Chain A
């Protein structure tokens, strides 16, 4: 089965450090999404891309977060500098189109100390 692959699965780092999360979408999927999930806020959309172009990053704190898609097989989400409130599970998902089912990766569990 085709899967969305995320790395790393877990990340523990100190406040102020740069964090980079990576995602390989399912081959052939045109849309890629980044979500953050916490107990308090649930699943929140941070950013999404269609054909590698960023379409919506309104859910992302612009001062410290950035999302890019350097090629069709790689999406990245960076946090710099990281803060304890960024601790969450970050999911990447991909789909054929924005209005069609999205398939999620296993997530990156991030802890900022």
Chain B
């Protein structure tokens, strides 16, 4: 079992819809959680981070954390074609571990 698991996708959503990206982690000691966006040929770019159970909103992005279920999600509202990228989930226990990423495609 991988330490951080994500559905590889691709996840296809129409422009303007809500994209929901999910991630599970195996280390119950994980304390901090991060979402990065990576465009093809580019470096990962931090989108959101969350430390506490519940929701955290930043513009069109909402991160959700449920430590009891070991589950993290990222919602992207009003999805745009420019949101098309690979989204990496990462969890920090005693080191940062990345998932393999979910490919998101937003169709106009």
Main secondary structure of the interface of B (DSSP, over half): strand
Q: Hey, which chain A residues are within 8 Å of B101, CB to CB?
A: 42
Q: Which 3 pairs from chain A and chain B are nearest by CB?
A: A104-B43, A43-B98, A42-B100
The number of chain B residues with a CB under 8 A from chain A is 19
Within 8 A of A (CB), among B67-108: 88, 92, 95-101
Min CB gap B57→A, angstroms: 17
Q: Hey, which chain A residues are within 8 Å of B36, CB to CB?
A: 104
Q: Hey, which chain B residues are within 8 Å of A102, CB to CB?
A: 34, 46, 96
A-B contact pairs, 29 of them (CB 8 A): A33-B96, A42-B98, A42-B99, A42-B100, A42-B101, A43-B88, A45-B95, A45-B96, A45-B97, A48-B95, A56-B95, A91-B43, A91-B44, A98-B92, A98-B95, A99-B31, A100-B32, A100-B49, A101-B46, A101-B49, A102-B34, A102-B46, A102-B96, A104-B43, A104-B44, A105-B43, A106-B42, A106-B43, A107-B43
| CB of B55 within 8 Å of the partner chain | no
Q: A42-B100, A99-B32 are in contact. Are A104 and B45 (CB under 8 A)?
A: yes
Q: A91-B44, A101-B49, A104-B45 are in contact. List 13 more A-B contacts (CB 8 A).
A: A42-B99, A42-B100, A56-B95, A91-B43, A98-B95, A99-B32, A99-B92, A100-B32, A102-B34, A102-B46, A104-B36, A106-B42, A106-B43
Q: A42-B100, A42-B101, A43-B98 are in contact. Are A103 and B92 (CB under 8 A)?
A: no
CB-based contact B46/A103 at 8 Å: yes
Q: Hey, which chain A residues are within 8 Å of B88, CB to CB?
A: 43
Cβ-closest chain B residue relative to A109: B41
Residue-wise interface mask of A (82-107) relative to B, using a CB-CB cutoff of 8 A (1 in contact, 0 not) = 00000000010000001111111111
Interface residues of A (CB under 8 A from B): 33, 42-43, 45, 48, 56, 91, 98-107
Q: Hey, which chain B residues are within 8 Å of A106, CB to CB?
A: 42-43
Min CB gap B74→A, angstroms: 15
Q: Hey, which chain B residues are within 8 Å of A101, CB to CB?
A: 34, 46, 49
